[in-house]
Amino acid sequence: MNVNIPLLKSICEIAGAPGFEKRIRDLVIETVRPHADEVKVDNMGNVIVVKKSKKNPDQKKIMVAAHMDEIGFIVTHIDDNGFVRFHTLGGFDPKTLTAQRVIIHGKKDLVGVMGSKPIHVMSQEERGKLPKTTDFFIDLGMNKEEVLQYISVGDPVTRDRELIEMGDCVNCKSIDNRVAVYILIETLRTISDPAYDLYAVFTVQEEVGIRGANVAAHGINPDFGIALDTTIAFDVPGAQAHEKVTELGKGTAIKIMDAMTICDYRMVDFMKKTANDHQIQWQPEILTAGGTDTAGVQRMGKNGAIAGAISIPTRHLHQVIEMAHKNDIVESIKLLNACIEDLDRYDWSH
């Protein structure tokens, strides 16, 4: 199995800030429709794709969640000189904003650059301070009258970066979490017969508080839940062994816990056994800061779900240079397929 680079590229590059996921949602619907028994969109904007089980129809439900949204910004003010102020949608390390191109999605898309005070005119005290998001503004190269023809307060802003291949890796903005969107699409395309009815959910607004997954899980009320998301791969110079979380090229990651979820020990054990039985390369993941849709999938159904997560190791998270290894992507697809097909072969009793 090879990674479909053109499909992954289109998924990663398309815009979809939290609350403004229409473009990526339309792409997902168009791509998954041939592989689904039913496709629907709920009031929040989650795309729910149903694939019925042939061997155990209408018995239990499997929910797999991959969030569509990407970290971004929203326009809050346009000053008298046409410079744009913004608020973040999702978590940013301010230093990563320096010298970046962005796209403001107004009446038409306009490319801008993140500007800030030049170092040449900073005081010694200013030079020693860490940057804040409020230090930055967006420069569109236009005066206020020109800007107002196309841009309004409330317009979303996304980062501008193309996907490229680097060695055995892919590099782009929004690998978090578009690589998981790609994995779920490929699973819908390739899976033969789910153990139980499959609800593949492409969720919204994860980056601002797993809001879409909460609503989707409440509506579906799944028996089993699997979240798909990226995780830290801090396998770089200066990292100590216990800090790495995961490593690129060492396979997919099976989540044990993150800051919002302790995965069900049965699901963790099932995933490990399934990976070993199918000779799928994997590594354990414990992420002590940050959360994923796993929390919503696990807790927001009426009865709760036996839930866990498959994580894709990713370097440089929440930057425009996020990097994932092609082998880890392929192994993630294999593990998700195997888990969905083998769920009825495991003893789920406590």
Please give the Cα distance from 5 to 42 (Å, whole number): 29
| pLDDT (tens digit per residue) in 43-76 | 999 999 999 999 988 899 999 999 999 999 999 9
Calpha distance 58→106 (Å, rounded):
44
Q: Which of 143, 158, 168 is nearest to 78 (CA)?
A: 143
Shortest CA distance to 332 belongs to which of 275, 257, 262? 275
Whether the ω angle into residue 214 lies within 30 degrees of 0, i.e. cis, is no
Label residue 130 exposed, middle or buried (CB < 10 Å: 0-12, 13-18, 19+).
exposed
- Identify the pLDDT of residue 44: 97
Concerning whether 70 is annotated as a catalytic residue, the answer is no
Question: What was the pLDDT predicted at 308?
Answer: 98
Output the six-digit token pair for 227.
Answer: 């979240």
Dump pLDDT digits (tens) for 142-165. Answer: 999 999 999 999 999 999 999 999
Cβ burial, residue 55 (10 Å; 0-12/13-18/19+) = exposed
Catalytic one among 21, 186, 206, 247?
Answer: 206
Digitized pLDDT (tens) for each residue of the chain, 350 residues in all? 899 999 999 999 999 999 999 999 999 999 999 999 999 999 999 999 999 999 988 899 999 999 999 999 999 999 999 999 999 999 998 999 998 999 999 999 999 999 988 888 888 887 888 889 999 999 999 999 999 999 999 999 999 999 999 999 999 999 999 999 999 999 999 998 999 999 999 999 999 999 999 999 999 999 999 999 999 999 999 999 999 999 999 999 999 999 999 999 999 999 999 999 999 999 999 999 989 999 999 999 999 999 999 999 999 999 999 999 999 999 999 999 999 999 999 999 99
Q: What is the pLDDT of residue 192?
A: 86
Rounded-to-integer distance, Cα 54 and Cα 92, Å? 44
